[in-house]
A and B are shown apart, each in its own frame.
Chain A
Amino acid sequence: MAHMSHMLQQPSGSTPSNVGSSSSRTMSLMEKQKYIEDYDFPYCDESNKYEKVAKIGQGTFGEVFKAREKKGNKKFVAMKKVLMDNEKEGFPITALREIRILQLLKHENVVNLIEICRTKATATNGYRSTFYLVFDFCEHDLAGLLSNVNVKFSLGEIKKVMQQLLNGLYYIHSNKILHRDMKAANVLITKHGILKLADFGLARAFSIPKNESKNRYTNRVVTLWYRPPELLLGDRNYGPPVDMWGAGCIMAEMWTRSPIMQGNTEQQQLTFISQLCGSFTPDVWPGVEELELYKSIELPKNQKRRVKERLRPYVKDQTGCDLLDKLLTLDPKKRIDADTALNHDFFWTDPMPSDLSKMLSQHLQSMFEYLAQPRRSNQMRNYHQQLTTMNQKPQDNSMIDRVW
């Protein structure tokens, strides 16, 4: 506590009226500590208004807890802890970005940020507050649902999931936001069957570059298995199509029940993409030859496009195959956008999109039993564990901790 004694000499004043005068500049250590502890931030509530129930996520982005409001209607929330690792730079710019984006986005299919909370600064935390992002609680995530064999989606229900997902993407893209981390684990679904896009930790605002200028965004985004070919080839002037590729991967996963292209390295991921979507040539993708890594990376040649052919055994539905084909288009300029995708026949032919709540209510019981069982999907976990190097985002927790 040696350092504390110096605080006695810090200019602090005791009443506003004699600020700056030397007589006001001492405050006893105890007074000071109490003062800091009791300092009130009327617009930033304390996190202890919620009561932690369980830890539901862990990764480099921090920890996520399920919690419950102590007062009021005692509703459940999800609390995401803000990691303050680089304290020399202050509040992390990534967290600021996430907060501002979430404050901007208010939509049924985007996770709702309720508030930011802080812990009281006390002696036990070294007088440093911890910050939490507080969200409406969602019972499931898509990765969890898909990894549970007892959860079966009908075609109408799959359509509903995809329609909501594309609705969310349409909304965020219209607001000039890129999600940049589309994957099944970041798609939450409430017990009422409402889908919410979540985890905007990698999201950013984008602009459409004018004239000759080009954006220079980082291409080290998106979990490898859902990463589109343009990012893998080093594109830095990308846009909404990066999220549409992820939507395509997720859509296929609705039937295959596990990620369709599980590369261990960027090179392998590109190979898998080529094997499914055909070789990358300037013919099918004008401009690909200008991407940074096009020449330096070994790409499979003479591969035929086999999207429909390989997915039909799973998907069966013809319009579904067609939409997948359009989402998993190599050339980002030709890839279908959210608006056009929502108008696709897939959503407007029988069986029409149908409500998920009934199906989910059947499985509520088993989902909770499932949580009590030892971890399943070990196979998935191994896959994930191999992928430690390529992304800041962890890929490990998605299947395991996010299942309720």
Chain B
Amino acid sequence: MTSCPVAATRSADRRSSRPAPTTYWSGRQTVSSVPTRLPSKRRTWGRNSARKNQHEKRFGCNVVAAARGVEQGADHEAHRLSLIAASSLYLAGKIKEDETVKIRDVINVAYCTLNRGNAPLDLNDEYWSMRDAIVQAELLITRTLGFDLNIDLAHKYLLHYMKTLQDWVGPEVWNSVPIAKAAASYLQDFHHSANILKYKPTHVAIGCLSLALQTYGIQVPLTDESDESAMWYKPLVKDFTRENQWEIIENVIEVYKHEAFLKAA
């Protein structure tokens, strides 16, 4: 989903470490499977709680509620994905202890992404059904992931590898071209591709850094391009090979081809 890349990225990241199901959020079964709840047990909020409760009876028992509430009969697949994306964003906020990511903000972002130009939702039935759907989808995501929510991102590795290389190539060369910026951009953009899930975070970091070095034609001193064992990344990541390098670079470049395609469309 290009409409909500951040959320998609975050939840996708963590799947990289396990032999994960590959299509679990693309099918209807994922979304419709979230357990329902008994409305009678629910708390009520505000004055028109009776109406809300009644409404929840209709919507609260299924995550697809959001899709239905937003645009009945339209592109359900997109809505399902956006719901999972919104829920992932919400969950990511909790995991990273980012107290600024409140559920209402998530709802506003998700709603306005799907409904360009609309004002944010009022606290109406649609809002509450969407909120309920996001909360339910969160339970679906956490269970699907077996609560393995510690996500090992490539960013910290990239940072440390760059710190090392900075001294290695020396400030003169390092400061002459924006390697750090380029590598960080490649990494950021690579998260738009599901292919990032195929690789270890350490490998992704080296791949992006490698592409940045090549972009600016920087040769790391005392390394030998022709000798695998003398490549600059060997001391940093032992299990990284030239094949990994080319594969990841190819995948990063693929993202930009996709961008061109989107622009043309």
Chain A contacts of B59 at CB under 8 A? 6
Instruction: Tell me if B28 and A44 are in contact (CB < 8 A).
Output: no
* Interface presence of B172 (CB below 8 A): no
Q: Does A4 touch B at the CB level, under 8 Å?
A: yes
Check A126 against B131 for contact (C-beta < 8 Å).
no
Known: A12-B62, A91-B139. A121 touches B68 (CB 8 A): no
Q: Which residues of B contact A99 (CB under 8 A)?
A: 147, 149
CB pair B32–A20 under 8 Å, yes or no, is no
A134, B97: Cα distance in complex, Å = 24
Residue on A with the closest CB to B27?
A16
Tell me, in angstroms, the Cα distance from A100 to B146 when the chains sit together. Answer: 12
Tell me, rounded to whole Å, the shortest Cβ–Cβ distance linking A49 to chain B.
14
Across the interface, A129 reaches (CB within 8 A) one of B28, B95, B139, B145, namely: B139
Indicate if B94 sits at the interface (CB-CB under 8 A): yes
Does any Cβ of A come within 8 Å of B75's Cβ? yes
Evaluate contact between B73 and A22: CB separation under 8 angstroms.
yes
- Asked if A91 and B41 make an inter-chain contact with CB atoms under 8 angstroms apart, the answer reads no
Expressed in whole angstroms, the Cα–Cα distance for A91 and B143 within the complex equals 11
Q: A100-B149, A126-B38 are in contact. Are A12 and B135 (CB under 8 A)?
A: no
Cβ contact of B146, chosen from A7, A22, A116, A205, cutoff 8 A: A116
Minimum CB–CB distance from A312 to chain B (whole Å) comes to 44
Measured between beta carbons, the chain A residues less than 8 angstroms from B145 are: 43
- Asked if B62 and A10 make an inter-chain contact with CB atoms under 8 angstroms apart, the answer reads yes
> Judging by beta carbons under 8 Å apart, are A6 and B61 in contact?
yes
| In contact, B144 and A41 (Cβ under 8 angstroms) | yes
Please tell me the size bucket of the interface on A. 35 or more
Report the nearest B residue to A6, measured CB to CB. B58
Residues of chain B contacted by A104 (CB below 8 angstroms): 150
Alpha-carbon separation in the docked complex, A126 to B136 (Å): 13
Q: Does B33 contact A (CB under 8 A)?
A: yes
Is residue A350 within 8 Å, beta carbon to beta carbon, of the partner chain? no
Q: Does any Cβ of B come within 8 Å of A36's Cβ?
A: yes
Query: Looking at chain B, what size class is its interface with the partner chain?
Result: 35 or more
For residue A205, which residues in chain B have a CB less than 8 angstroms away from its CB? 97
Assess whether B33 is in contact with A36, with CB atoms less than 8 Å apart.
Answer: yes
Q: Mark B36-68, 1 if CB is under 8 A from A, else 0.
A: 111101110100000000001111111011011
Query: Is B232's CB within 8 Å of the partner chain A?
Result: no
Q: A7-B36, A10-B32, A10-B68 are in contact. Are A19 and B76 (CB under 8 A)?
A: yes
B178 at the interface (CB under 8 A from A): no
Inter-chain contacts of B142 with A (CB < 8 A): 44, 91
Complex Cα gap A16–B38 (Å): 28
- Which of chain B's residues has its CB closest to A24's CB? B28
B90 at the interface (CB under 8 A from A): yes
Residues of A within 8 A of B135 (CB): 87-90
Q: List 30 A-B contacts (CB under 8 A).
A: A7-B36, A7-B62, A10-B61, A11-B64, A11-B67, A12-B62, A19-B76, A35-B29, A35-B32, A36-B36, A39-B29, A39-B33, A42-B21, A43-B146, A43-B148, A44-B143, A87-B37, A87-B135, A90-B91, A90-B138, A93-B97, A96-B94, A103-B147, A103-B149, A126-B41, A127-B37, A128-B35, A128-B36, A129-B35, A205-B97
B-side residues, CB < 8 A to A, are: 18, 21, 26-29, 32-39, 41-43, 45, 56-62, 64-65, 67-68, 73, 75-77, 90-91, 94-95, 97, 103, 131, 134-135, 138-139, 142-150
